[in-house]
Amino acid sequence: MDSHTIAAQTAEAGHIEHEHPPFLRHHFATVEQQRETATFGMWLFLLTEIMFFGGLFCAYLIYRNWYYPAFVDGSHSLHIWAGTLNTTILIVSSFTMAMGVHASETRMRKALVGWCIATIILGCGFLCVKAYEWHDEWVEHHVPGLNFSPEGFMRVNPAYPADAPLQRDMAEKTQVYFSLYFAMTGMHALHMIIGVSLLALLTIRAWGGAYTSGHVAPVENFGLYWHFVDIVWIFLFPLLYLISRHQ
């Protein structure tokens, strides 16, 4: 098919669709083009996010090889139940978000608003559990730079009586673990806060019916963002909490 034929077909397709929905921006020819463009842009943005977290994962990989015992002991000091609870919360929130996108596609306004609110509640729940964990780490003097003390790692951990305590120089290296822990979970939590805020705005507009008249792209793309933030956690959970579970 030569270019003329392609051009003619596009032109005809453009003419058949006489009614332009209000959400079609002037520089797009069709709703389909607008939706594809927005989704493509979102995937690219997520690619930049992968590179953003990638720097941290790279640092994690190197230091985990260097200071493996410190990373194991650091990991043992976290609450595994809290990490598991948060993982569950996030997986459920991904489900509610996916249902929200489905509700938007099937044009069910109240269901969309309901699923969005459920997602917001789950997101806030995640942040609360995370805040509790951070508070606990503060109390135990595990925050590098602010109140860090390696003493705790130079005694036998009652939860792991079989493990020998660390020597002072390796116990000092748990600072690297906790630096990465706070940087990674902090960046992740920042993305959660941004996500919850954006979702709150989306919910208000969804209540007005903005996304249940064929204009699915914003909800769909926000869903992509939300799932991405979940997936980051799916990587963080084993790296930070489960390092030595196989031993």
Partner 1 sequence: MSTILTLPDQSTATLPKVSYLSKEYGLKSWLLTGDHKRIAMLYLISITFFFFIGGAMAGLIRLELLTPPSDLLAADTYNKVFTAHGIIMVFLFLVPSVPATIGNFVIPIMVGAKDLAFPKINLLSWYLYVAAGCMVIAALVSGGVDTGWTFTTPLSTHYLNTHVITAGLAVFIAGFSSIFTGLNFIVTIHRMRAPGMTWFRLPLFVWSHYAASILMVLGTPVLAITLVLVVLERTIGIGVFDPTKGGDPLLFQHLFWFYSHPAVYIMILPGMGVISEVISTFSRKRVFGYTAVAFSSVAIAVFGFFVWAHHMFIMGISNYSALVFSLLTMLVAVPSAIKIFNWSATLYKGSITFETPMLYAFGFIGLFTIGGLTGVFLGSMGMDIHLTETYFIVAHFHFVMVGGMLMAYLSGVHFWWPKMTGRMYPEGISKLAAVITFVGFILTFFPQFLLGYLGMPRRYAAYPPEFQVLNVFSSAGASVLGVGYLLPLLYLTWSLKYGKIAGPNPWQATGLEWQIQSPPLTENFVETPIVTHEAYDYEWLESKKDHEVPTVG
Q: What is the DSSP letter of 19?
A: P
One residue of 16, 18, 48, 65 binding partner 1 per CB under 8 A: 48
Contact characters 17-36, partner 1, x per CB under 8 A: --------xxx-x---x--x
Choose one: 78-86, 173-181, 207-215, 221-229; the region binding partner 1 (CB under 8 A): 173-181
- Phi/psi for 145 (5° steps) reads 85, -35
The smaller minimum CB distance to partner 1, of residues 62 and 201, is found at: 62
Tell me if 230 sits within 8 A of 90, measured CB to CB.
yes
Q: Does 183 bind partner 1 (CB under 8 A)?
A: yes
Dist CA 247 CA 59 (whole Å): 24
DSSP string, 26-45: TT-SSHHHHHHHHHHHHHHH
Q: Does 51 bind partner 1 (CB under 8 A)?
A: yes
Q: Does 56 bind partner 1 (CB under 8 A)?
A: yes
One residue of 87, 96, 175, 203 binding partner 1 per CB under 8 A: 175
Closest CA to 67 of 246, 243, 209: 243
Distance between alpha carbon 20 and the CA centroid of its chain, in Å?
35
Dist CA 142 CA 130 (whole Å): 15
Count how many Cα atoms sit within 13 Å of the Cα of residue 51 in the half-sphere of its side chain. 5
Residue type, 138: W
Minimum separation from the CB atom of position 144 to partner 1 (A): 5
Contact characters 204-233, partner 1, x per CB under 8 A: ------------------------------
Q: Does 58 bind partner 1 (CB under 8 A)?
A: yes
Q: Which chain residues interact with partner 1 by CB under 8 A?
A: 3-4, 6-8, 10-12, 14, 25-27, 29, 33, 36-37, 40-41, 44-45, 47-49, 51-56, 58-59, 62-63, 66-67, 70, 143-146, 172-173, 175-176, 178-180, 182-183, 187
